[in-house]
Amino acid sequence: MHADITRLKQIMIKLLSNTVKYNKVGGTVVIDYALNQNSLRICVIDTGLGMMAEQLAQLFQPFNRLGRQANIEEGTGIGLMVCKRLIELMNGKIGVKSTVGIGSEFWIELDLMADTTQGPA
């Protein structure tokens, strides 16, 4: 796939740390993937509180902690914005779907490289 391994690690660490940080006690974290014809999608899924549509609309804005400033979780509110910028620099995509009371699924998608090791068909 087309990716800078250092940037990809940074993105995955941020998504995983957020998943743990905002999950509920006894919650679960799942890492999944989907291999499509032209891309790889990696999903980080939690069973946390989930987010409302209004929160999702503000999610990738810098310094916006979605009303969680008073909570015990530390953070500046720039992590997901940085992830978005890094994935875009690799011509990838990032997204999220979330349901209040059920949890969230963050995903990144990167293009696959053409297989140049095979000769003509």
What CA–CA distance (Å, rounded) separates 65 from 79?
A: 10
Q: Is 51 exposed, middle or buried (0-12, 13-18, 19+ CB in 10 A)?
A: buried
Tokens of 38: 């032209």
pTM: 0.81
Digit-by-digit pLDDT tens for the chain (121 residues) are 778 999 999 999 999 999 998 899 999 999 999 999 999 999 999 999 899 998 888 887 766 555 454 455 555 567 899 999 999 999 999 999 999 999 999 999 999 987 645 544 4
For helices 5-21 and 79-89, the axis angle rounded to 10 degrees is 150
